[in-house]
Amino acid sequence: MNPATTEFIRQRFTEYYKKTVLVSPSSLVQREWGFVLFNPGGAEMRMRRHIGFSSRDELAGYIQNLIPQHAYYSTAYYEKPDAGTMADKGWCGADLIFDLDADHIVRGPYDQMLARVKEETEKLIAMLIGEFGMDPKSIELVFSGGRGYHVHVKDIAFRGWGSAERRELIDYVCGIGIDPPAMLSGKLTAAPGWPKRYREALTEYLGWIGTQPEPEAMAHLTAIEGIGKDSAATFLNNREEIIAEIGRRPSGMILKNRVLGIIVAQQEGEFKKRLLSRAALADEPVTTDTKRLIRMPTSLHGGSGMRVQPLELRELHDFDPLTDAVVFGMRDVKVDAKFPLRMSMLGSTYEIQKGITTVPEAAAVFLCCRGIAEIA
């Protein structure tokens, strides 16, 4: 980002922060803060952290004076949040955080990535409420301003959890470490949970094999290491019986079928793909980190120019980040695009050519923050 572009973005951010009422997190005085400031022409992002505030007014004044490119606060609570080292801060617990980032899930056009990560967020919230019994009132949802969502669980019951306990929870959410015999044993139930999801994924996979022409089904099975032609043929002949057994008499004994045992043990492939489609693909390191810094709701994301938008859970389904988290307007701005692209924003689609072109201010801010264009 060249100096002229940096100044353009900083002016827009200044305009936003001067007129916006910022939302600060609960227990403000126990939070550590970190900020990345605008650095004209600089290639590195340097964070200024180990900062504490005694009031909302002090926080707002700091942001309005410095105009940060990025603003973060700690998910942890500290006795001395402004201490210069982590050891001196006095950790008092941390919120339970889930970070869903489209970059870790799917690649493609930005609007499609946002749509996909919303689906993962909806699955996660359904798990937290339906399977863990979490109170919806304790869950705070935030669009990150970039490529995903942050889910904050503020229930004090989780505050003292260490990384190990948080690891068990995120493993469950992501479907990590599932034991096939355990999933296929026990009573059939309509209750949500991994046994139900596992059986559905396995039944769907076996049904998919049955839709393939026999040569293709054989080729699929024999391509899996350890499955020969005779074993594959026998398995295909017994496929419907296996499906009926999964639905009628759930038992780990089903895996006595050698071919089925090989299939479910695979770390990749058609069955694994169907199984993971039922997980909520959250970022594991964020949840297990008890001293994480996370973006401040109502701040601006320096990599997109969009608002880090707090949401009610009921608002998620209809939320459109490319309209609802855009804070800048439609006045014309000339930019110099590095390559041609197609982008959606504020309900319109723009075909942007390489070189100098005129776009609405909201699109110009986004393109410049993303490093796709410079101010012309």
Instruction: Please tell me the total count of domains within the chain.
Output: 3
The answer to whether residues 146 and 260 belong to one domain is no
φ and ψ at residue 191, rounded to 5 degrees:
-65, 145
Q: Establish if 90 belongs to a structural domain.
A: yes
The answer to whether residues 162 and 192 belong to one domain is no
Residues that are catalytic: 99, 101, 283
Q: Establish if 301 belongs to a structural domain.
A: yes
- Per-residue pLDDT of the chain (376 residues), as tens digits, is 889 999 999 999 999 999 999 999 999 999 999 999 998 666 667 889 999 999 999 999 999 999 999 999 999 999 999 999 999 999 999 999 999 999 888 888 899 999 999 999 999 999 999 999 999 999 999 999 999 999 999 999 999 999 999 999 999 999 999 888 888 887 777 778 999 999 999 999 999 999 999 999 999 999 999 999 999 999 999 999 989 888 876 666 677 889 999 999 998 999 999 999 999 999 999 999 999 999 999 999 999 999 999 999 999 999 999 999 999 999 999 999 999 999 999 999 999 999 999 999 999 999 999 999 999 9
Q: Establish if 317 belongs to a structural domain.
A: yes
The answer to whether residues 47 and 188 belong to one domain is no
Strand (E) positions, the chain?
33-37, 47-51, 68-74, 76-78, 91-94, 96-101, 139-143, 148-153, 293-295, 309-311, 332-337, 341-345, 348-352, 355-360, 373-375
The answer to whether residues 49 and 146 belong to one domain is yes
The answer to whether residues 163 and 296 belong to one domain is yes
Q: Residue 355 is part of which domain span?
A: 341-375
The answer to whether residues 197 and 245 belong to one domain is yes
The answer to whether residues 67 and 187 belong to one domain is no
pTM: 0.90
Q: Establish if 336 belongs to a structural domain.
A: no
**Which residues share a beta bridge with 37?**
68
The answer to whether residues 129 and 237 belong to one domain is no
Q: Establish if 333 belongs to a structural domain.
A: no
